[in-house]
Amino acid sequence: MTASTTSGRSTTAPSTTPVLDVSGVTMQFGGLRALNDVSFGLTEGEIIGLIGPNGAGKTTLFNCLTGLYTPTSGSVALRGEALPGDPAKVTELGVARTFQNIRLFPSMTAQENVLVGRHARMKQSPLSSLLHGPGFRRSEKAAADRAAELLDVVGLTRFADELARNLPYGDQRRLEIARALATDPSVLLLDEPTAGMNAQETEATRRLILDIRGLGISVVVIEHDTKFIFTLCDRVLVLVQGELLVEGTPDEVRGDPRVVEAYLGAPPDEVDAQIHAGDHAVDHAVDHAHERTGGSSTRPAEGAR
């Protein structure tokens, strides 16, 4: 486990080994360019925060990183190898994700939902599975043990046998994280993991993500809650209208007038005044912008969200 500062952010410097390399990704939907020439690298053990106004292209970027969308141009490589345009194969290679709109199996128990993730990893011959031979039983037992472990990691042991649909909303989000971890990822992509959570649940999730990094997993996290992002992440990317507008440490990003302007749409002079009026101008701007749109967790589910 890594050491923590008083804010809980890890003090262990991420290495510079690139795990995920995103290069010039553009995604065009008819006349709409949802992503324009987006490039960044995720290094080993790094936590990157991805912020930006509603409709900026954040979820679209995740969809491009996980094979759900094939970028119009550009490439995504995991440890130097181009990722295939097939979500199941991307999962097998070690990139896992959660969804902005929770995608659990509501009529399965919490443990069964985690086992679904685990099965993406298990290598059993069809014959062994069919005959329920010793190899099959061994691997089923190992999968059940691992599922129990992961439920413990996310603090849901008490809900192991509860149907997913009966879990409180915040716990459903944590269950999605457990299911993603069950695929043994080296990269975890989290799309608004604290949407709909109260302050305590959000803090618990922040600590959970730090623990996940402690397991050696690199993380990219989308979130509208900038306080959460700025106290969690090593680096923050700001996506605005499909373009990476600003990239830097939390301190660099929160003090960048372009970021506040992108959220508020205010002229630079006004933005400057806001920056000097308080260190938390971006937090307020983002909260305000998000409130205006009603927050994404209240929207109906859509295809690839």
Ligand X SMILES: Nc1ncnc2c1ncn2[C@@H]1O[C@H](COP(=O)(O)OP(=O)(O)OP(=O)(O)O)[C@@H](O)[C@H]1O
| Strands (DSSP E) found in the chain | 18-29, 32-43, 47-51, 73-78, 81-82, 95-97, 187-191, 218-222, 235-240, 243-248
CB-nearer residue toward ligand X: 94 or 242: 242
Note the helical H segments in 94-133. 110-119, 126-131
Phi, psi of 106 (to 5 degrees): -65, -30
Residues in 43-102 at the binding interface with ligand X, rule: CB under 6 A: 52, 54-60, 100
Among the candidate windows 50-58, 150-158, 205-213, 268-276, which touches Mg ion by CB under 5 A? 50-58
x/- track of binding to ligand X for residues 175-214 (CB under 6 A): ----------------------------------------
Q: Shortest gap between Cβ of 148 and ligand X (angstroms)?
A: 33
String marking each residue 261-300 x if it binds ligand X according to CB under 6 A? -----------------------------------x----
Among ligand X, Mg ion, none, the one that 29 touches (CB under a kind-dependent 5 to 8 A) is ligand X
DSSP string, 143-208: HHHHHHHHHHHTT-GGGTTSBGGGS-HHHHHHHHHHHHHTT--SEEEEESTTTT--HHHHHHHHHH
Q: Does 59 bind Mg ion (CB under 5 A)?
A: yes
Q: Give the nearer residue to ligand X in terms of CB position, either 226 or 296.
A: 296
Pick 115 or 190: Cβ nearer Mg ion: 190
Residues contributing to the site for Mg ion (CB under 5 A): 58-59, 100
